Amino acid sequence: MPKNYDVKDLKLAKAGTLKMEWAAESMPVLRSIQDKFAKAKPLKGLRVAACLHVTSETGILMQTLKAGGAEVRLTASNPLSTQDSVAAALVKNFGIAVFAINGEDNRTYYRHINQALDVRPQITMDDGADLVSTIHSKRRALLKGIIGGTEETTTGVIRLKSMARNKVLEYPIIAVNDADTKHLFDNRYGTGQSTIDGILRATNVLLAGLNFVIAGYGWCGRGLALRARGMGAKVIVTEIDPIKAIEAVMDGFEVMPMGRAAAIGDVFVTVTGNKGVIRREHFKAMKNGAIVANSGHFNVEIDIPALKALAKSKRRVRDFVDEFTLRGGKKVSLLGEGRLINLAAAEGHPAMVMDMSFANQAMSTLFLRREGKKLAKDVFPVPKKIDEAIARMKLGSMGAKIDVLTADQKKYLTEWQEGT
Ligand code: ADE
């Protein structure tokens, strides 16, 4: 067992190990990387601090890094997403130092981040850029030892690109989120399904026939719209980007501003990566019984202080459901305190899709170890070769085969002379 850790209860370790075994069955790509790492030890001696949702899928990633020879410390990327049983299993049964307790307050959250950083990481692995921002603002002495970092999510990549633009980013970052084998599947099918899963576990509402308002038509919004429609909901999309808005219209959804959707919606979900998307004026316009949730990285997408200010009372009516009674008597329910509902009330994305996301994390860590010192202080994509190799491994694991270009076709694609 590691000397340092902070988890809820080590007695949960058995249940956590079973959860991880279940997840591993659906993560063939990551497992094959793990097997290769275990033989070649390409991460030998590498110190990694990871700030990710502490789930069974993350557990398999941590095992993989350790199999490669890395010394890993794991802390949570959200106070409500930790699966305490997995945290216990990682400590007790896999010797990995975890600092994460579900429901921890903000002070504990940042204490845990600092404890993970005490490993003096050479690589940081973020989901939302909290490690990078803590290092750059409060732990600058660590900077000299860092080779590079990876970032899992859209919101984190936005924060990091803004740091790079402002020339304050002090080490290279691989934007795992931007790999095709990540966002096209994890953000779309993962968020799509797990957000519905979280809302249903929290509320048990019947989606058929409901007006389901989705703020944001990025890959997460697209996936969520697809799945909500599949459950029979009438989907309304709100956007600020005209191109994404056309796409939503042509995908068959109603598009309108939040100012109008607020009065129509039964269920609202924010997936924009921005703040203040549902605000005071929107709460005031909502119907009695409206349900509001967020599946974006931070809970600032919903102006919760505004909701609190409008309310004369609040009560917890079910796990993950806070019912606010506004002055005038109208009730609005907020799910999971506005934290990502797919991880707060459900278990996040299924292992089948996290397989590709975390294969990207593992391979990007290896890439940074080998090439990181040559990279500038900027945000870089996952190398195309890695992205494609992961796609091929996943396809293989699914028993699907694809065609290969003939020599003539290859030539055709590289020449311009041939026309009609
Ligand atoms: N983000 C979304 N779903 C996740 C999961 N199952 N594990 C880790 N991070 C996630």
d(CA 118, ligand 1 centre) in Å: 24
**Ligand 1 in reach of 71 Cβ (< 6 A):** no
Distance CA 335, CA 323 (A): 9
pLDDT at 112 > cutoff 90: yes
d(CA 81, ligand 1 centre) in Å: 9
**Ligand 1 in reach of 372 Cβ (< 6 A):** no
Distance CA 112, CA 74 (A): 9
**Ligand 1 in reach of 55 Cβ (< 6 A):** yes
For residue 215, CA distances in Å to 107, 153, 260, 283, 386 come to: 30, 18, 12, 14, 32
Could you tell me the sign of the dihedral formed by the alpha carbons of 388, 389, 395, 401, in that order? positive
d(CA 300, ligand 1 centre) in Å: 20
d(CA 349, ligand 1 centre) in Å: 5
Residue labelled with tokens 């970092």: 149
- Two domains, one topology: 10-182+349-397 and 189-344: yes
Q: Give Cβ neighbours of residue 27 (< 8 Å, ≥ 6 apart).
A: 57, 60, 351, 352, 354, 355, 358
| Tens-place pLDDT, residues 192-243 | 999 999 999 999 999 999 999 999 999 999 999 999 999 999 999 999 999 9
Strands of the 97-99 sheet, one edge to the other: 97-99, 71-76, 47-52, 123-126, 148-151, 173-175, 379-381
Q: Give Cβ neighbours of residue 246 (< 8 Å, ≥ 6 apart).
A: none
pLDDT score, position 97: 98
Atom of ligand 1 nearest to the CA of 57: 7
Instruction: Quickly state the pLDDT bin for 416 (edges 50, 70, 90).
Output: confident
Instruction: Count Cβ atoms below 10 Å from residue 281 Cβ, excluding itself.
Output: 12
**Ligand 1 in reach of 58 Cβ (< 6 A):** yes
**Ligand 1 in reach of 277 Cβ (< 6 A):** no
Strand residues in 10-157 grouped as ranges (E): 47-52, 71-76, 97-99, 123-126, 148-151
Instruction: Quickly state the pLDDT bin for 62 (edges 50, 70, 90).
Output: very high
Residue nearest to atom 8 of ligand 1 (CA): 53
**Ligand 1 in reach of 53 Cβ (< 6 A):** yes
Domain boundaries, the chain: 10-182+349-397, 189-344
pLDDT at 420 > cutoff 80: no
pLDDT score, position 418: 78
- Give this prediction's pTM: 0.95
Q: Are 264 and 211 in contact (CB under 8 A)?
A: yes
| Tens-place pLDDT, residues 241-263 | 999 999 999 999 999 999 999 99
Atom of ligand 1 nearest to the CA of 347: 6
d(CA 408, ligand 1 centre) in Å: 43
Instruction: Quickly state the pLDDT bin for 178 (edges 50, 70, 90).
Output: very high
| Tens-place pLDDT, residues 313-371 | 999 999 999 999 999 999 999 999 999 999 999 999 999 999 999 999 999 999 999 99
**Ligand 1 in reach of 354 Cβ (< 6 A):** yes
| Tens-place pLDDT, residues 1-27 | 888 999 999 999 999 999 999 999 999
Q: What is the mean pLDDT of residues 373-386?
A: 98
Distance CA 279, CA 107 (A): 27
Instruction: Quickly state the pLDDT bin for 122 (edges 50, 70, 90).
Output: very high
Q: What is the mean pLDDT of residues 94-116?
A: 97
Closest CA relative to residue 27, chosen from 61, 50, 2: 61
* Count of residues making up the chain: 420
Q: Which of 77, 194, 197 to mutate to test the pocket of ligand 1 (most atoms within 8 A of CB)?
A: 194
Rg (CA), the chain: 22
d(CA 348, ligand 1 centre) in Å: 5
Q: What is the mean pLDDT of residues 32-42?
A: 98
pLDDT score, position 8: 98
Question: In what helix (H) or strand (E) does residue 133 lie, and over which residues does it extend?
Answer: helix 130-137
Q: Which architecture, in CATH terms, is 189-344? A: 3-Layer(aba) Sandwich (3.40)
Distance CA 264, CA 258 (A): 10
Residue nearest to atom 9 of ligand 1 (CA): 53
**Ligand 1 in reach of 163 Cβ (< 6 A):** no
pLDDT score, position 287: 98
Instruction: Quickly state the pLDDT bin for 123 (edges 50, 70, 90).
Output: very high
Q: Are 284 and 303 in contact (CB under 8 A)?
A: no
Instruction: Quickly state the pLDDT bin for 375 (edges 50, 70, 90).
Output: very high
Q: Which of 74, 81, 102 to mutate to test the pocket of ligand 1 (most atoms within 8 A of CB)?
A: 81
**Ligand 1 in reach of 296 Cβ (< 6 A):** no
Instruction: Quickly state the pLDDT bin for 417 (edges 50, 70, 90).
Output: confident
Q: Which letter, b or e, does each residue of 213-230 get, where b requires 16 or more Cβ atoms within 10 Å of its Cβ?
A: bbbbbbbbbbbbbbbbbe
Distance CA 69, CA 62 (A): 11
Distance CA 255, CA 247 (A): 10
pLDDT score, position 3: 87
Please indicate whether residue 298 or residue 169 has the higher confidence score (pLDDT).
169
What would the CATH number be for the domain defined by 10-182+349-397? 3.40.50.1480
pLDDT at 419 > cutoff 80: no
Q: Are 352 and 197 in contact (CB under 8 A)?
A: no
